[in-house]
Amino acid sequence: MIVTIDGGVASGKSAVGRRVAEGLGLRFIDSGLMYRAITRLAAMRGIDTHDAEAITRLADSTKIRIEGERVWADGTELTEGIYDTDYADALPVVSATPGVRRALVEQQRQMGKDGVVMAGRDIGTVVFPNADHKFFLVASLDEKVRRRAAQYERRGERVDEEAMRKEVELRDRIDSERPIAPLRPADDALIIDTDHLDLEQVVDRILDHVRR
């Protein structure tokens, strides 16, 4: 079984996907970790993320492994600091590079060959267009900022909510407007507004839908 859960920044897709995977006895993959890994690896190796050819070669030659919330690139663990704000500006650039998306989509499909719950932005539209079940999570900007701030606070990081609001708004706009694999719900996805639902309610709604 393949279950896709897409959504924008701080829509809750990773937290929800993890719990849904547990409920279904499937592996969970947060595809966003793969783009973060390539972005961080580029910074470590001094590769200009605006150099499409160089960043594509990096993605083509890098084997990524994900286990839960941990991520490795060619055997080197990159989990610590994977959400650092130092990479915030470079991440949308890397994510919008056609060669990078092609390379990582190939790996994502391999990861899901034995069944998976995968979260991302283009999983139901590009990675697994024939998935058994597709979901798209939405939330208001205020709610996304609140959730994002809570994530940073849990990691012990200082939060500037106004800067965060601009960051969340910009990232969603960039992802929605990019020419390749834009952020949008698949035509056959169930859209869930999570504003007034807690984590368990969203998970239950998805599990009920799948089991029916």
Residue 210 is assigned to a structural domain of this protein: no
Alpha-carbon distances, residue 82 vs 4, 38, 72, 85 (angstroms): 23, 10, 11, 9
Per-residue model confidence as pLDDT tens digits over 24-57: 999 999 999 999 999 999 999 999 999 999 999 9
For 71-82, the pLDDT digits (tens) are 999 999 999 988
Q: Mean of the pLDDT values across residues 110-118? A: 97
Per the domain annotation, does 158 fall within a domain? Answer: yes
CB 17 within 8 A of CB 30: yes
- Decide if 96 is inside a domain: yes
Residue 156 scores a pLDDT above 80: no
Task: Kindly state whether residue 176 falls inside one of the protein's structural domains.
Answer: yes
Give pLDDT, residue 182.
93
Q: Which residue has the higher pLDDT, 163 or 12?
A: 12
Q: ∠ at Cα 12 (64, 166), nearest 5°? A: 95
Contact (CB, 8 A) for 188 and 134 = yes
Residues above pLDDT 70, as percent of the chain: 100
pLDDT > 90? residue 116: yes
Separation of alpha carbons 206 and 10, rounded Å: 18
Sheet holding 76-77, edge to edge: 64-67, 70-73, 76-77
Q: Percent of the chain beyond pLDDT 90?
A: 80
Q: What φ, ψ does residue 165 adopt, rounded to 5°?
A: -60, -45
Domain of residue 148, residue span? 2-195
At a CB cut-off of 8 Å and minimum separation 6, what does 165 contact? 141, 145
Please indicate, yes or no, if residue 204 is contained in any of the structural domains: no
Please report the pLDDT score of residue 163 as a whole number.
Answer: 84
> Which of 166-171's residues contact partners 24+ apart within 8 Å by CB, and which partners?
167/88, 168/9, 168/10, 168/141, 168/144, 169/141, 171/8, 171/9, 171/92
Split at pLDDT 50, 70, 90, the class of 89 is confident
- The whole-angstrom distance between residue 150's C-alpha and the CA centroid of its chain comes to 18
In a domain, 212, yes or no: no
Cα 126 to the center of its chain, rounded Å: 13
What are 55-65's pLDDT values in tens digits?
999 999 999 99
Instruction: Check residue 66 and give its pLDDT.
Output: 96
CATH, residue 130: 3.40.50.300
The DSSP 8-state label assigned to residue 86 in this structure reads: G
Q: Is residue 8 domain-resident?
A: yes
pTM, 2 dp = 0.92
Q: Which two tokens stand for residue 204?
A: 């239950």
Residue 119 sits at φ, ψ, to 5 deg, of: -110, 145
* Number of independent structural domains in the chain: 1
Mean pLDDT of 96-104: 96
> What's the mean per-residue pLDDT of the chain?
94
Alpha-carbon distance of 35 to 96, in angstroms, equals 10
In a domain, residue 164? The reply is yes
